Chain A
């Protein structure tokens, strides 16, 4: 069973640290591909972090990220310095970004950079950096958002390719849209009519299948970053705690 699931998900599942390893290599082609995948996964969270926590506007965020990727990630091969034994890769990345932002603020404040190279006003940036010099839960919230988004996209794809589109639709109507768009779940009467369900047991089974499928896929996605089963549980528990506190 687990072998089947593994092969089913194989096209999506280069693990976190294997990508990091390849991105830190000297082989230019392998490095380029792996870096591209890593950035695709992490940039949304880094972007959200700069925007929500540091209060940078869209243009400033894009300039900072572009500079960070060009200078630190590509030029200084930042990824090669990541060490699995020293904690989560995303924490490593965020600390590096944070340092880069501080460094940019200092350089702009010292007048060592031209306006063109310092997209954020020096005073404003110094203030932002001093307000939040330490890594923040905001990044974890953005990260959870990314994780859930990936799991939802993968679930939809899996349902479509396996001929179980009704599993996705019932999940979307009863769980996803009510959670994210604040709309009422599809009423029970409509649901049984739409899917031609002959008994409450069949309706229950369909919705339960959807929930279990999402839970499995979420674990699979988290597993690509967290590693073993224990770390996956810890990762999900940690994110849930952060989100609960943030939303309280």
Chain B
């Protein structure tokens, strides 16, 4: 670099380097969301939900009964027939904090997906409400999630099941639109 004259295209590169500073946003590119979601769903639960919840998550994992002991990651939790409500609640808390935090370690889109999925799965499998979010808002959020091209097939099936559960059926899922989800409750 020392021996080359600065060229216009290099000027933009240099400018981007000077802009880095303390900004931690935009670490990942939009086309990487699928890979990040896959990684997040497969990550050990104590690592996936952040430092602030890791102790609580570890404690909960130790106290789980036999049907749930096999749960090692978010994918297993979300697809479990009898998921731990406590772990789903932790997932919702973590997702909500990431959604609201501009410096979140998780892309906002993935935080939104985890937020709605954790609420929907709790209702779907246990009939429990983790949130005061209205049903219409929840459906709107789930539709938004289902419309994202980076969501994997397994998660899409879960979203579809949740939408059907919430009474909108196949039509609701077929009419997915790229609307932004409502804000977290």
Which A residues are within 8 Å of any B CB, using their own CB? 44, 48, 51-52, 138, 141-142, 144-146, 148-149, 151, 175-176, 179-180, 182, 185, 187-189, 192, 198-205, 207-208, 211-212, 214-215, 218, 236, 239-240, 243-244, 246-247
Chain B residue with Cβ nearest A245: B11
Centre residue among B15, B35, B106 by max chain A CB count within 10 A: B15
Which B residues are within 8 Å of any A CB, using their own CB? 1-6, 8-24, 27-29, 32, 35-36, 39-40, 43-44, 47-48, 50, 105-106, 110
How many A-B residue pairs lie within 8 Å, measured between CB atoms?
Answer: 122
Contact B29 A204 (CB under 8 A): no
Contact B12 A247 (CB under 8 A): yes
CB distance from A151 to the nearest CB of B (A): 8
Contact A240 B15 (CB under 8 A): yes
Contact B27 A208 (CB under 8 A): yes
Contact B6 A208 (CB under 8 A): no
CB distance from B46 to the nearest CB of A (A): 9
Q: Collect the chain B residues with CB atoms within 8 Å of residue A199's CB.
A: 39-40, 43-44, 47-48
Given known pairs A204-B105, A207-B27, A244-B15, the reply for A188 and B40 (CB within 8 Å) is no
A218 to B19: give the CA distance in the assembly, Å: 10
Contact B9 A148 (CB under 8 A): no
Given known pairs A142-B6, A148-B18, A204-B27, the reply for A247 and B11 (CB within 8 Å) is yes
Chain A residue with Cβ nearest B1: A149
Contact B39 A246 (CB under 8 A): no
A246 to B8: give the CA distance in the assembly, Å: 6
* Neighbour of A200 across the interface among B13, B15, B21, B106, CB < 8 A: B106
Contact A201 B47 (CB under 8 A): yes
Given known pairs A48-B6, A212-B24, the reply for A246 and B11 (CB within 8 Å) is yes
Q: A48-B4, A214-B20, A243-B14 are in contact. List 12 more A-B contacts (CB 8 A).
A: A52-B6, A145-B14, A148-B14, A179-B13, A180-B13, A211-B23, A218-B18, A236-B18, A236-B21, A243-B15, A244-B15, A247-B10
Given known pairs A201-B47, A215-B20, the reply for A188 and B13 (CB within 8 Å) is no
Contact B6 A188 (CB under 8 A): no
Contact A188 B36 (CB under 8 A): yes
Q: Collect the chain B residues with CB atoms within 8 Å of residue A218's CB.
A: 17-18, 20
